[in-house]
Amino acid sequence: MNVLEQIRKGDSGMVVSGNHPRIVQSILDFDYLSGNTQSVHAIVTNGRRSQKFFWGTKEILIPCYKSFSEIPQSLGARVTFLLNVQSGRRAAESTHAFFAVFPEAIGAHIFAENVPEAHATELISTYAGKKIIAGPSGVGILVSGTLKLGAIGGVDSSQLVSNKLMTKGSVAVVSTSGGMTGELIHAVSEAGRRLSFAFCIGGDRFPVSSLSEVLALAEADPETKGIAYFGELGGVDEYEIVELIRNKKLTKPVVAYIAGIIDESFDTHVQFGHAKALVAHKDESARAKREALREVGVQAADSFPEFLAALGALPGGSEVDPEIDIGPLLARRASILSTREIVDLKAIPTFVEKGKLVEAESGFMSTAVSALLGKQLTSPTSKAFFEAVGKLLIDHGGNVSGAVTSMITARAGKDLVSSLSAGLLTIGPRFGGAINDAAKLWMKGVSSNASAVSFVEETTRAGSLILGIGHKKYRVGIPDPRVSAIEAFTELLPKHEYFTFARAVEKVTTGKNGSLILNVDGAIAALTLDVLAECEGYTQKELQSLAEAEFFNALFVLPRTAGFMAHIIEQKRNDEGLFRLPDSLLFTRPGDLHEG
């Protein structure tokens, strides 16, 4: 079976060697827009374990490995191509390494220019005729609607669509030049034709897959009905086409443009952009090659506009393009941090139902709290209560300061303990550290027997915030489900005077501003006071000394430590590399706004 048919039938996948995110993303977009499965399975690169890309509008992580042999069998089984975007000096070495691990693979694209000639000829002697290798240099291979191996056809999703790369057609584009491959792909689509495949041989002196091999592919491909070819002065490739046609090994119509007539305007030969575009012998001139092609019936145009017009005479033109809306792809924005959901924030457990504890089993939290208190907890209610607090406070998503700081520290390559410490150090008056101060406030309010109204007045007049009140997200009408869940414990507490007081304060504050509701810190503080007083027999004085020792904040630090560590471990497993705030998210205040 022709290799192109094999590619069209099979589930072609690739490994990327080196790092070129823009090209990789364009391949994923091509797969997505073609309705195929993801073709990039792994990246071989140093310094990270995964890299983030989009699959449609969803973010995905593609695993990174240090070497081809580290790629697990589950991924490796689907690898048929190598996309090699390493530098010129590493290109040959990494290509050999790939085929050593994947001997059955179909081929590769080597992106780098500046591959030493000796390396290129050595690649030729090893792989020519056995593997399909586009390059060194160039933009790779495209099989419309099936495979995009390289930058070929563009890297913007809008280019993929305007070049009609997802529509299977009948014209093969073959070119040495990468830029002109893009130009020809575009021209074919403008001419109302669609591609069967496009192959950029590469402008280097020694491309691995030669022009003859690529034309043999086109000839054997049942989908290809015509060929559009772009060549340049220098080299003798075009005489290979002449030979193939003479020997009837190439029978499909060919439209060609051989660039380089400009060379005739100069006294001495000019070194043009590509390595082999230096005319050394007369028969390598653009004119000579053009004429040789014409003799065997190739439509070798005199000018580029003439070439464009001739494309319209190639077979095909009845293909129907699928309707593709790339609006959502254009609107997507990459997240700056990615992590998993540590706990399901929407599933709030029920702790008390119809006046009875749902789950009286005690565990780590009650043991830990007993240790903090220096005294065993005795009541099943208090045990259940502290377990509930632990569950509620493990995590509140990756957005909060402590989690963000932990993750950024982990991504800077720091160890678990350092990353955890960095996260813990954000706990304070604005984040997580309000439980203790809230407890102090509720105690003050309850012991002074003041009304909630005068308590609020007094506290705010003194210029203090009422800790335990207010939330960025929840407000009147959108209650915090965690607060509602633990509020159920009041059913088991005959007095719950601290909680009642806290709710009374909330009533006053929400009268001013709907977002000034009792938050989870405030609720936990109040209920902890009630539980310790009513179930464990703590006096006001004892509670006071606990608050002074910052016992109440420990109730947050304990479970959240587990949450931070979960985020840290997740970052280390993903290992997306060092974090840097994107410019678009950084507002630098202009100098003239500075005060003084």
Q: Which residues pair with 43 in a beta bridge?
A: 16, 64
Residue 160 Cα distances to 30, 34, 141, 502, angstroms: 7, 10, 14, 60
By the rule CB under 8 A, 124 interacts with another protein: yes
Omega of the bond leading into 479 within 30 degrees of 0 (cis) = no
- Kindly state whether residue 274 participates in binding another protein, applying the rule CB under 8 A: yes
Q: Which is nearer to another protein, 87 or 540 (CB)?
A: 87
Nearer to another protein, 261 or 416 (CB): 261
Q: How far apart are the first and last CA of the chain?
A: 78
Q: Is 159 a residue that touches another protein (CB under 8 A)?
A: yes
User: Rounded to an integer, what distance in angstroms lies between the CA atom of residue 142 and that of residue 152?
Assistant: 7
CB environment 5-24: b (16+ within 10 A), e (fewer): eebbeeebbbbbbbbbeebb
Q: How many chain residues interact with another protein (CB under 8 A)?
A: 69
Give one word for 594, left, alpha or beta, with left for phi > 0 and alpha for psi -120 to 50: beta
Pick the closer one to another protein by CB: 105 or 233.
Answer: 233
Question: Pattern 185-224, binding to another protein, x per CB under 8 A?
Answer: xxx--x------------x--x---x--------------
Smallest separation (angstroms) from another protein to the CB of 99? 20
11 φ/ψ sector (left φ>0, alpha ψ -120 to 50, else beta) = beta
- Cα 56 to the center of its chain, rounded Å: 11
Interaction of residue 115 with another protein, rule CB under 8 A: yes
Q: Is 274 a catalytic residue?
A: yes
Residue 579 sits at φ, ψ, to 5 deg, of -80, 135
Q: Which of 11, 70, 264, 353 is the binder for another protein (CB under 8 A)?
A: 264
Residue 174: φ, ψ to 5°: -130, 130
Stretch near another protein under the rule CB under 8 A, chosen from 173-181, 247-255, 327-335, 426-434:
173-181
The arrangement of strands across the sheet holding 107-110 comes to 50-55, 58-65, 40-44, 14-17, 81-84, 107-110, 132-134
Q: Which amino acid is at 336?
A: I
Cβ atoms < 10 Å from Cβ of 25: 20
Q: Which is nearer to another protein, 302 or 548 (CB)?
A: 302
The reply to whether 93 sits near another protein by the rule CB under 8 A is no
Which structure tokens are listed for 562?
A: 């587990």
**Active-site hit among 274, 396, 496, 567:** 274
Is 266 a binding residue for another protein by CB under 8 A? The answer is: yes
| Minimum separation from the CB atom of position 455 to another protein (A) | 58
Q: How far apart are CA 143 and CA 121, in angstroms?
A: 26
Burial class (CB in 10 A: 0-12, 13-18, 19+), 186: middle
User: Is residue 445 involved in binding another protein (CB under 8 A)?
Assistant: no
Q: How far is the CB of 279 from another protein (least distance, A)?
A: 12
CB closer to another protein out of 270 and 416: 270
| Alpha helices, H only, 77-224 | 88-101, 117-127, 157-162, 178-190, 211-220
Interface segment toward another protein; rule CB under 8 A; list 57-65, 226-234, 242-250, 344-352: 226-234
Q: Which stretch binds another protein (CB under 8 A): 113-121, 165-173, 479-487, 576-584?
A: 113-121
Q: Six-digit token pair at 194?
A: 């669609």
β-pairing verdict for 299-300 and 254-259: parallel
* Rounded CA separation 229/376 (Å): 85
Instruction: Using the minimum distance from each CB to another protein, give the nearer residue, 181 or 436.
Output: 181
| Residue 143 touches another protein, criterion: CB under 8 A | no
Q: How far is the CB of 237 from another protein (least distance, A)?
A: 11
Question: Least Å distance between CB 266 and another protein?
Answer: 6
- CA-wise closest residue to 230 among 173, 303, 171, 296: 173
Region from 110-118, 536-544, 548-556, 576-584 binding another protein, contact rule CB under 8 A: 110-118
Q: Is residue 332 at the binding interface for another protein, with CB under 8 A as the rule? A: no
Half-sphere exposure of 96 (CA within 13 A, CB side): 10
> Exactly one of 121, 362, 367, 451 binds another protein (CB under 8 A); which one?
121
Which listed range, 159-167, 238-246, 358-366, 389-397, lies at the site for another protein (CB under 8 A)?
159-167
Determine the Cα–Cα distance for residues 433 and 556; give it in Å rounded to an integer: 7
User: Exactly one of 13, 18, 76, 88 binds another protein (CB under 8 A); which one?
Assistant: 88
Which of 106, 300, 308, 518 touches another protein by CB under 8 A? 308
Q: Where are the beta strands (DSSP E) in 1-146?
A: 14-17, 40-44, 50-55, 58-65, 81-84, 107-110, 132-134, 141-143
User: Judged by CB under 8 A, which stretch of 43-51, 111-119, 494-502, 540-548 contacts another protein?
Assistant: 111-119
Minimum gap (Å) between residue 161 Cβ and another protein: 13
Task: Show the beta-strand stretches assigned E in 222-297.
Answer: 226-232, 254-259
In whole angstroms, what is the distance from residue 304 CA to residue 21 CA?
33
Of 97, 152, 410, 427, the residue at the interface with another protein (CB under 8 A) is 152
Does 182 bind another protein (CB under 8 A)? Our answer is yes
Tokens 């669509």 map to which residue?
A: 161
Which of 74, 265, 449, 584 binds another protein (CB under 8 A)? It is: 265
Residue from 5, 156, 319, 458 in contact with another protein (CB under 8 A)? 156
Interaction between residue 233 and another protein (CB under 8 A): yes
Contact range with another protein by CB under 8 A, out of 75-83, 172-180, 403-411, 487-495: 172-180
Mapped onto helix, strand or coil, the DSSP state of residue 170 is coil
Q: Is 278 in the site for another protein (CB under 8 A)?
A: yes
114 binds another protein (CB under 8 A): yes
Indicate whether 118 belongs to the interface with another protein (CB under 8 A): yes
Amino acid type, 553: N
Q: Which is nearer to another protein, 213 or 536 (CB)?
A: 213
Q: Does 496 bind another protein (CB under 8 A)?
A: no
Sole binder of another protein in the list 216, 270, 336, 343 (CB under 8 A)? 270
Tell me: does residue 45 bind another protein (CB under 8 A): no
Q: Which residues here bind another protein, judged by CB under 8 A?
A: 22-23, 26, 87-89, 113-119, 121, 124-125, 139, 150-156, 158-159, 162-163, 175-183, 185-187, 190, 203, 206, 210, 230, 232-233, 257, 259-262, 264-266, 270-275, 277-278, 286, 302-305, 308
Catalytic residues: 274
